[in-house]
Amino acid sequence: MMNKNKKKIIFICMLVILSVFILSNCSEILSSDSSETYWINSDSNVRHNSSCRWYGNTNAGYYTTELIGTACGICGG
């Protein structure tokens, strides 16, 4: 039977491993360069991706790679 100190050490090691795994995945997501280009409708501040029928097709807007604005309800922008 394991004593309490060994159980604590194993538990701490498992927490450290889990934390490193979570942090490495988060940093990959945050640091990934977005090659996706979005169309922002400047009148409504809605973001459209390239598969959307409104991509580049509104009266006023601009292209960006930043995730700004509200995601389109059709394409998810």
The reply to whether 19 falls in a domain is: no
Q: pLDDT at position 63, please?
A: 93
The reply to whether 31 falls in a domain is: no
Q: pLDDT at position 60, please?
A: 93
The reply to whether 46 falls in a domain is: yes
- Overall domain count for the chain: 1
Structural contact between residues 45 and 38, judged by C-beta atoms closer than 8 angstroms: no
**Tens digit of pLDDT for each residue in 25-64?**
554 445 445 578 999 999 999 999 999 999 999 999 999 9
The reply to whether 3 falls in a domain is: no
The reply to whether 62 falls in a domain is: yes
The whole-model pTM stands at 0.55
Q: In this model, does residue 9 exceed pLDDT 90?
A: no
Q: How far apart are CA 30 and CA 7, in angstroms?
A: 34
Structural contact between residues 10 and 38, judged by C-beta atoms closer than 8 angstroms: no
All residues at 6 or more sequence positions from 70 whose CB lies less than 8 Å from its CB, including other chains:
44, 45, 46, 47, 77
CB atoms within 10 A of CB 10: 11
